[in-house]
Amino acid sequence: MFSRRVLMVIVSFCVLGLAANAQAALSKDSQKVKNAVIKIYSTLTPPDYFTPWRLLNSQQSSGSGAVIAGKRILTNAHVIADASYLQVQKNGQPKKYLARVDFVSHAADLAILKVEDESFFDGITPLKVGKLPEPLETVSVFGYPFGGNTLSITQGVLSRVEHQFYAHAGGYLLAGQIDAAINPGNSGGPVIAGDKIVGVVMQANTGARAENLGYFVPPSVIRHILKDADDSEHNGFVNLGLRTQSLESPALRGAHKLTEGQNGALIVKVFEGSVSEGKLFPGDVILAIDGYDVAEDRSIEFRKNQRTNFKYALDQHHVGDTIKLKISRDGKTQTVKLKAAPSRRNYSLVLAERFGAQPSYFIYGGVVFVPLNMNLIKRWGSSWHSKAPIDFLSARGQWRSPEKTELVVALKVLPADVNLGFHDWKNWIIESVNGQPIKDFASFVEQVRGNQQEYLTLADSDGYQIVLNKQNSEASLDDILARYRVPMAFSMDLEPKTAEQ
């Protein structure tokens, strides 16, 4: 029979052995993750929306990414947006490899890269996507932030999960919040729990009252984009094409004949051409989506004791799926089924931000015309919310209609005799051409090109006008382009159609 002392020694060795095995497994998992975290070098050459025929100076930037199945690298869209040259580098290796963008979702701030030389992936075990951590669960952030060239690992806990506006392109999607240190260069790096990806770092909170707060793209959004990428066609997230209002007011609930205990989201607008047109109407109340009950603040419980915007239920769908809604219409409950369609990104008169494309522009009589979009508004820098023209900012709250889908801006005037008296006009929203309303930028260009009158009269909603002589405007075009070194009078997308086309 063993003595107590001998037994304690044996137990101690067993505990030490188990601890050693656990440490070895942990070390193995950690090394696997380290090998799969990639540094990305980007040469960014974005267009200049203040001078739309030019590019801004190239900028060198870096970010992080993680190798996933299929010899692919998962990263942020903003790491590679407007990139003219991409390279990737393995952890601890000096060689850089040429890469290209295989798929991108700017709304979700996610991109998938491929490497030209597939030997790059030798010795790397792809990481799998895990499940969303629980609140207060510890996670690790892997990446290559500024201040050094080697891999950095920080830790934090998941503190919050809810819908947020993504900083890159304004998508409104589920996001996780952690208190790990996140700095420039961390973007695109994986958030790890165990040896699985549970998020992709996308942005830090730079507010003066918040410290060490960062946000990541959660697994549900990652999986949605990976499935969307299967056919290489970007469909994005579905959109019902409507606007809703919360029902926290008892009087508002009563006015719409909701019974005791009924709550939901009040529909206030249904856009023409949307999947909801003809099936849902202003005044309907959405009570539930796919079995998720909608609360009076338009939230749903997406997992036990955790709530977020009801859009979460829609975000789980792909194009072609059936979405089941329970609604209240005039006090009567009924079920409506909708077939998920691709999102139009936004229904605002201000066009959504674009990447990797030449800006549209048109020059006539020395006046530079452009469509109003978020690219132009953000050209005023990080403080665009306060520095961009007030008319541009207020237009973001105006909805499209069949009669008007875009706004046209007289961006600037290239001074010449033909536009004398208007040399200081800029950032001016135009409503009509020779008294005819403007629907969109392309039709505006056709209105100007097709003008047969002696004068071209451009007016805003208050009646102020720019008037240009047709003959002088056309005769002076080449001289104006040469004087201001403008290569063409219009962007390539506005090339006049020939009779054969």
Amino acid code (one letter) for 86 = L
78 as an active site residue: the answer is yes
For tokens 């008319």, name the residue.
Answer: 391
Q: Which residues pair with 480 in a beta bridge?
A: none
CB 289 within 8 A of CB 324: yes
Among 356, 335, 321, 158, which Cα is nearest to 237's?
321
Please tell me the distance from the alpha carbon of residue 141 to that of residue 133, in angstroms, as a whole number: 13
In sequence order, the 6+-apart residues with CB closer than 8 A to the CB of 313 are 289, 290, 292, 300, 302
* The two three-digit tokens of residue 32, written as one number: 């696997």
Which secondary-structure segment (H or E) carries 96? strand 96-105
Length of the chain equals: 501
Among 440, 444, 445, 465, which Cα is nearest to 455's?
465
Q: CB 258: neighbour CB atoms within 10 A?
A: 21
Sign of CA dihedral 29, 127, 171, 293: negative
SS3 at position 80: helix
Cα–Cα–Cα angle for 130, 135, 141, rounded to 5 degrees = 55
SS (H, E, C) 167-232: CCCCCEEEEEEECCCCCCCCCCCEEEECCEEEEEEEEECCCCCCCCCEEEECHHHHHHHHHHHHHC
**Which one from 62, 105, 106, 109 is the annotated catalytic residue?**
109
Please tell me the distance from the alpha carbon of residue 473 to that of residue 451, in angstroms, as a whole number: 12
Q: How far is CA 357 from CA 40, 49, 153, 493, in A?
A: 22, 11, 35, 10
449-464-389-270 Cα dihedral, nearest 10 degrees: -70
CB 42 within 8 A of CB 79: yes
Q: CB 296: neighbour CB atoms within 10 A?
A: 18
284 as an active site residue: the answer is no
**Which one from 42, 62, 78, 140 is the annotated catalytic residue?**
78
**Which one from 42, 61, 105, 187 is the annotated catalytic residue?**
187
* The two three-digit tokens of residue 377, written as one number: 């508004």
Amino acid code (one letter) for 442 = A
* The two three-digit tokens of residue 475, written as one number: 């005769």
Ramachandran area for residue 397 (φ above 0: left; ψ -120 to 50: alpha; else beta)? alpha
Catalytic positions:
78, 109, 187
